[in-house]
């Protein structure tokens, strides 16, 4: 699937793998899709004559073979050690911490800053999911939860500005915010629920995807049955990672383990039904499906929230806890 081509042949839309150590190029990742000419210029400035391009992940045709003339040996990036990039000091962007602590910031600006920089934090966590980073992210998510709980204006702004690309970290924040808003409504008059723990469970629900082959996660198209089976390891893997990190209460770990279980027993991994599924996981499931429908994929357009809710009510209602879904719809009134 990967082809070695000359850097002279690079075009926008190619999914490249840089054959140099992570510290020797200016990019955040060793593998990425080229989005603009500036990235091509920077790749060439790394003094590379050839580069690996993954044809399956590219949006454009990739030449079959290399151009002649440049015979420099090419190191496979898989042989290059990628350092642990993020640690507990660098995981949360400074801008996120500042926005969370800034009491004078206008509500819409605050929502945007918190949203954008939480995505960055989640992206970093998915790159470096160490136990220490999980614990750090949980502390920051607790502050985000406090913001959602305390400030109705910022939380409704957060719901409004969610973007809908296909990245796991964007999805994690969208589901985190949306599920928290539902939990806020449901548990408004109760102090029996630890919403900070719940927030962490919602934001981290897909953490197990770090154990899924990136080629499957990034596949620009529908998954085959085998790929889908592989993808379905993520709830249990996430549960296991969080248990090992000892970072979440038992019941909030069930959010991670059961967020793909459906009310009618047609979900996975255990095909649980109704009350066999933890209530917190039933909340997460609704937010998860809603975000999947309202997000863009290479094989489908994003649905508008109203259309997604309609489809969920008309064609998927058996998947959800009816009472929770009715409350979820009210969030968008
Ligand atoms: Fe998931
Ligand atoms: Fe998800």
* Secondary structure (DSSP) of 159-208: HHH----S-HHHHHHHHHHHHHHHHHHHTTT--SS-HHHHHHHHHTTTGG
Under-50 pLDDT residues of the chain: 67-83
> Rounded to two decimals, what is the model's pTM?
0.76
| Ligand closest in space to the Cα of 260 | 1
Kindly give the distance from the C-alpha atom of residue 187 to the centroid of ligand 2, in angstroms, as a whole number. 22
Among residues 50, 79, 108, the one where a domain terminates is 79
- Give the pLDDT confidence score for residue 65 in this predicted structure: 58
- Domain final residue, candidates 22, 49, 79: 79
Are 75 and 99 in a shared domain?
no
Residue 87 in domain: no
Residue 64 belongs to domain spanning: 2-79
Contact (CB, 8 A) for 130 and 122: no
| 89 found inside a domain | no
Straight-line distance from the first to the last Cα atom of the chain, in angstroms, rounded to the nearest whole number: 47
Domain assignment present for residue 88? The answer is no
- Which ligand approaches the C-alpha of residue 287 most closely? 2
Which listed ligand is nearest to 202 at the C-alpha? Answer: 2
Residues 193 and 263 in one domain: yes
Say whether both 128 and 234 belong to one domain. Answer: yes
Same domain, 47 and 121: no
**pLDDT of 285:** 98
How far apart are the CA of 120 and the centre of ligand 1, in A?
19
- pLDDT of res. 21: 66
Identify the pLDDT of residue 84: 62
CA of 153 to the centre of ligand 2 (A): 26
Number of domains composing the chain: 2
191 in the same domain as 145: yes
Same domain, 67 and 99: no
State the CATH number of the domain containing residue 151: 1.10.3210.10
Residues 163 and 28 placed together within one structural domain of the fold: no
Ligand with minimal distance to 268 CA:
1
Q: How far is CA 174 from the centre of its chain?
A: 9
Q: What is the token pair recorded at 86? A: 């993020």
Q: Is residue 85 part of a domain?
A: no
Longest CA–CA separation in the chain, Å: 72
Same domain, 125 and 250: yes
230 inside domain: yes
**Residue 283 within any structural domain of the chain:** yes
For residue 238, the ligand closest to its alpha carbon is: 1
Taking the centre of ligand 2 as the mean of its atom positions, its distance from the CA of residue 297, in whole angstroms, is 14
Contact 285, 272 (CB under 8 A): no
- Statement to judge: residues 251 and 313 lie in one domain: yes
Do 171 and 288 sit in the same domain of this protein?
yes
State whether the Cα torsion 236-237-242-243 is positive or negative: positive
DSSP string computed for 73-134? ----GGGSPPP----TTTSS-HHHHHHHH-TTS-HHHHHHHHHHHHHHHHHHHHH---HHHH
Same domain, 63 and 134: no
Residue 117 has a CB neighbour count (10 Å cut-off) of: 21
Q: What is the pLDDT of residue 77?
A: 45
Q: Are residues 19 and 58 in the same domain?
A: yes
In angstroms, what is the span from residue 15 Cα to ligand 2's centroid?
24
Q: How far apart are alpha carbons 307 and 5 in whole angstroms? A: 44
CA 146 to ligand 1 center in whole angstroms: 24
């Amino acid at each position: 699937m990967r082809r070695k081509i000359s850097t002279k042949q690079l075009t926008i839309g190619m999914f490249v793998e840089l054959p140099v150590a992570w510290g020797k190029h200016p990019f955040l990742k060793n593998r990425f899709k080229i989005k603009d000419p500036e990235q091509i210029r920077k790749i060439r400035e790394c003094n590379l004559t050839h580069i690996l391009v993954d044809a399956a992940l590219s949006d454009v045709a990739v030449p079959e073979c290399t151009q002649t003339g440049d015979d420099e040996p090419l190191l496979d990036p898989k042989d290059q050690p990628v350092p642990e990039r993020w640690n507990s000091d660098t995981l949360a962007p400074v801008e996120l911490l500042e926005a969370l602590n800034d009491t004078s910031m206008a509500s819409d600006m605050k929502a945007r800053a918190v949203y954008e920089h939480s995505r960055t934090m989640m992206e970093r966590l998915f790159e470096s999911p160490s136990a220490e980073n999980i614990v750090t992210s949980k502390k920051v998510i607790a502050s985000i939860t406090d913001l959602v709980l305390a400030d109705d204006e910022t939380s409704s702004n957060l719901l409004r500005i969610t973007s809908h690309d296909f990245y796991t970290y964007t999805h994690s924040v969208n589901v985190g915010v949306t599920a928290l808003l539902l939990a806020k409504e449901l548990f408004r008059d109760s102090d029996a629920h630890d919403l900070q723990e719940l927030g962490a469970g919602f934001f981290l629900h897909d953490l197990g995807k770090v154990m899924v082959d990136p080629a499957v996660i990034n596949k620009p198209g529908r998954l085959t049955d085998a790929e889908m089976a592989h993808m379905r390891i993520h709830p249990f893997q996430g549960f296991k990672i969080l248990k090992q990190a000892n970072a979440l209460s038992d019941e909030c770990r069930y959010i991670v383990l059961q967020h793909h279980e459906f009310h009618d027993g047609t979900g996975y991994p255990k095909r649980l039904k109704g009350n066999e599924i933890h209530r917190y996981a039933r909340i997460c499931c609704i937010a998860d499906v809603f975000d999947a429908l309202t997000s863009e994929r290479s094989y489908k357009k994003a649905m508008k929230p109203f259309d997604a809710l309609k489809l969920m009510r008309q064609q998927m209602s058996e998947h959800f806890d009816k009472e929770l879904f009715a409350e979820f719809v009210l969030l968008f009134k």
